[in-house]
Amino acid sequence: MHRRIIGSTLGLLLLLGTAAWAQTGPATLSVEKIHAKPAMQQAMQRAGKGNSLDRVTEAFDSQLLDRINSSRKFRVTAVSDLATLLKAVNRTNQSTETKTLTYGLIVTLDDFEDSTEQMNFPSLNQVGVKRKIRLSAVAKIYNLGIDPPELFETANIQVLQAGTRMDMGDLQKNAELTDALLLTSVQEAAQKIVDRVTDVVYPAKIMTRTDRQITINRGDGTGIAPGQLWTVFALGKALKDPDTGEVLGREEFVAGTARILSVQAKFTTAEVVDGGDRIREGMLLRLPAAPPPPPPPPSN
């Protein structure tokens, strides 16, 4: 379904191929090495944070590949740049009788903060240090099976992690705190990206239903977890832009809600909470977006 969510902010390129008519296995996902925007690289170097930025991009590469592999939805390969990948895709399409649909995901890292704030605790007669890591990214999915490539969907990716250590004089422990926050930050960002790619390429669907239990084509490593409440949607007619003639997607109607019971390697079981007989095989499911955090209390 062509859902466009325009965002801005991470620079990494992923590319994936799916069979156009008869996909019998996981899609191929080729991942380009992550880069930060030159302007941000220069700013981080001037601020003396170049090492932190390098650690983020290096960790992001490995964590993203790990999260993609854990999703069990893709065959993963790595490429150095888009040109190399396009040549490989063209050779593959020319050498096989089955035309392949090819998509690309570009994630550009263009905002990163690694800040330190000293904290005083007079009642404890101690001082501490607070570290904050902020990542901001935009993930863009392209349809590379046409010439020129077409933007398919985009999504904002934002992560904020903070931690406090009471022994500010121990520089080694403070460094460990920063490294731990960096790793947690990139793990969260990588998981959000993989969840988004999976949603676009493999929307969550009901495979079977028996009484009130349904089975979903999502497994471990795709952001699904026991206890979650997912909204079930029935699909209606295709929606076509009256000006361009482009098919924007299909009508969607809320059919009910399902609660996740157990998550296996490649599938998940859930129970129908409401919707009754309206919920059937083939319907889509989506996890509702989390509500925004409450505003901080006013300062005195």
Q: What is the pLDDT of residues 120-149, one digit of tens each?
A: 666 666 667 778 888 988 887 776 666 666
User: Is 217 in the same domain as 195?
Assistant: no
The highest-confidence range among 87-96, 118-127, 266-275, by mean pLDDT, is 266-275
Block residue for tokens 């077409």: 150
User: Is 235 in the same domain as 169?
Assistant: no
- Under 8 Å between Cβ of 261 and 218: no
| Residues spanned by the domain of 229 | 206-286
3-state secondary structure of 253: strand
**Measured between alpha carbons, how far is residue 253 from residues 41, 213, 222, 235 in Å?**
45, 21, 24, 6
User: Is 218 in the same domain as 172?
Assistant: no
Single residue among 201, 235, 250 that ends a domain in this structure: 201
Instruction: Give the span between the Cα atoms of 186 and 196, in whole angstroms.
Output: 15
pLDDT tens figures, 192-250: 998 888 888 788 999 999 999 999 999 888 889 999 999 999 988 888 888 888 777 78
Residue 30 included in any domain: yes
Single residue among 201, 219, 235 that ends a domain in this structure: 201
User: Is 67 in the same domain as 153?
Assistant: yes
Q: What value does the mean pLDDT take over residues 100-105?
A: 63
152: domain CATH number is 3.30.160.150
Top-confidence residue, 297 or 136: 136
Single residue among 157, 186, 201 that ends a domain in this structure: 201
Q: What value does the mean pLDDT take over residues 250-279?
A: 94
User: Is 36 in the same domain as 124?
Assistant: yes
User: Is 43 in the same domain as 184?
Assistant: yes
- Specify the DSSP element, H or E, that contains 106: strand 100-121
Residue 5 included in any domain: no
Tell me the pLDDT band of 24, cut-offs 50, 70 and 90.
low
DSSP 276: G
* Total-model pTM: 0.71
Residue 3 included in any domain: no
Q: With a cut of 60, say whether residue 300 has pLDDT above it.
A: no
Q: What value does the mean pLDDT take over residues 77-102?
A: 55
Residue 296 included in any domain: no
Which token pair is 162? Answer: 């903070």
User: Is 26 in the same domain as 173?
Assistant: yes
Amino acid letter, 195: D
Q: Which of 42-46, 127-131, 250-254, 277-281 has the lowest mean pLDDT?
A: 127-131
Nearest to 221 by CA among 55, 106, 70: 70
Amino acid letter, 31: V
Q: Categorise residue 9: left if φ over 0, alpha if ψ from -120 to 50, beta otherwise.
A: left
Q: What value does the mean pLDDT take over residues 274-284?
A: 93
